[in-house]
Amino acid sequence: MLRDIWASIPAEISSLDVAKLLKSVFFSVHKFKVRVSNTITIKHIMINDVLLTKETNKFFLNIIYLCIARDLGIPVVPLMIDGLMMMAFENKEPYAISFIDNEFLFFIDNSTFSPYPEAKLRQKFNIKEEEELPYLAFTDVEIAATLLSWLGILYSQNNKEVISDRIKFLIESIAGEV
């Protein structure tokens, strides 16, 4: 995927075009599908299965997107907004727009990877224009703990308590490190 993206990036490109290019590579070139139902299985959060089937949930697809953006040096950050993980395109060089003092140029819809303007975000979460956006940085440790938590629950549901208990121990260990 990185090779496909690198080959497509022109020397001069806007932040919106970067988001559109990433979306195209994910959905048109590599044919990823987002599972929108609440039913999730172990294969939807195991990287080898996800890369093989090209199917996962919004959360895990965001993680893949984030990893690729980081590898390419694209200033995308994960945020927690109203309990949901969303990506935001930071207002940083070389994409920064100097006359805008917003921290983010735009948000990225977490199921289509399309640019998601702040106005649409405010409407979705019923946040008034004069109110500050209620987001928190979503750290890598929190992302890992969330994935491990899901994995523990899924193994427990499949009567694999030993694996589930090991995952719970790992989560507790991670939490103790923070």
How far from 48 is each of 55, 56, 134, CA to CA, in Å?
11, 11, 34
Report which of 1, 79, 115, 84 is spatially closest to residue 47, judged by C-alpha positions: 1
Report which of 158, 8, 149 is spatially closest to residue 68, judged by C-alpha positions: 8
Report which of 131, 106, 102 is spatially closest to residue 120, judged by C-alpha positions: 106
Torsion of CA 50, 56, 59, 60, to 10 degrees: 0
Task: Give the mean model confidence (pLDDT) for residues 163-174.
Answer: 75
Q: HSE (CB half, 13 Å, CA atoms) of 43?
A: 6
Q: What whole-number distance in Å separates Cα of residue 167 and Cα of residue 151?
A: 8
The 10s digit of each residue's pLDDT in 146-168 is: 888 888 888 787 777 777 777 77
Helix orientation angle between 140-157 and 161-177, rounded to the nearest 10 degrees: 160
Answer whether residue 65 shows pLDDT above 80.
yes
Beta-carbon contacts of 50 under 8 Å, excluding residues fewer than 6 positions away, are 43, 44, 56, 60, 64
The 10s digit of each residue's pLDDT in 85-139 is: 889 999 998 888 877 778 889 999 877 888 888 888 888 888 888 888 888 888 8
The label of the residue with tokens 């956006």 reads: 133
